[in-house]
Amino acid sequence: MKPASQRPVIAPAAPGFVRIIGGLWKRSKLAVPARPGLRPTPDRVRETLFNWLGQNLGGLRCLDAFAGSGALGFEAASRGAVQVLLCEQDPGLAASLRANAERLQATQIKVQRGDAITVLKGAARASWDLVFLDPPFGDGGNEALFRQALQAAVPLLAPQGCIYLEAPRAWSDEDLLALGLRCSRHGKAGQVHYHLLELAPAT
């Protein structure tokens, strides 16, 4: 092994960027610090999602529980959402989200640093139109975290509200019905499954 003084110096990973693809801030770049396991939702998946939702989200209230890069929340705000709460536990990512919001003068965006499940459980009930859930996959898929997030998100939905879920597997009708949900749309990009979920009709 070479002495420490002779070893090559490895530079830290440079910050990356994600690009807003529609709305007021179309083509604006959001700076994103490099983090292991961070998976910003790809452009083509976001494009599909907002085709499902409709391009204009005017008047909607959105909660992004595992904000990460903030791509989903900023995209919603760019398309007219009047209230967007970004929750992020990592202090560096939370600071980056605040800086991006300030640069865009996105006054409808609030960044809250904290544990996503805790924030979901403490959020206002029946007053969110759209909840984004993109938990870290982790080893083995982090199945328990996904279930906890869905359970905590369901009471937050307004009557016509919906949940966007990214996961390492497709969630079955049986799994979702047990949580009071049904899947209205589903897609797959690489190893990621993405779902648009609605409250299941009362039986």
In tens, the pLDDT along 57-74 reads 999 999 999 999 999 999
Domains of the chain, CATH where assigned = 42-199 (3.40.50.150)
Q: What pLDDT, on the 0 to 100 scale, is given for residue 133?
A: 97
Q: Taking the CB of residue 58, how many other CB atoms lie within 10 A of it?
A: 9
pTM, to two decimals = 0.89
For residue range 103-155, list pLDDT tens digits in order. 999 999 999 999 999 999 999 999 999 999 999 887 665 889 999 999 999 99
Q: For position 1, what pLDDT does the model report?
A: 43
- The single residue listed with the structure tokens 């204009």 is 56
Q: Which residues of 64-98 are buried (b: 16+ CB within 10 A; e: fewer)?
A: bbbbbbbbbbbbbbbbbbebbbbbbbeeebbebbb
Question: Among candidates 29, 39, 33, 37, which has minimal Cα distance to 13?
Answer: 33
For β-strands 16-19 and 29-32, DSSP reports them as antiparallel
Q: Which pair of structure tokens corresponds to residue 72?
A: 């989903």
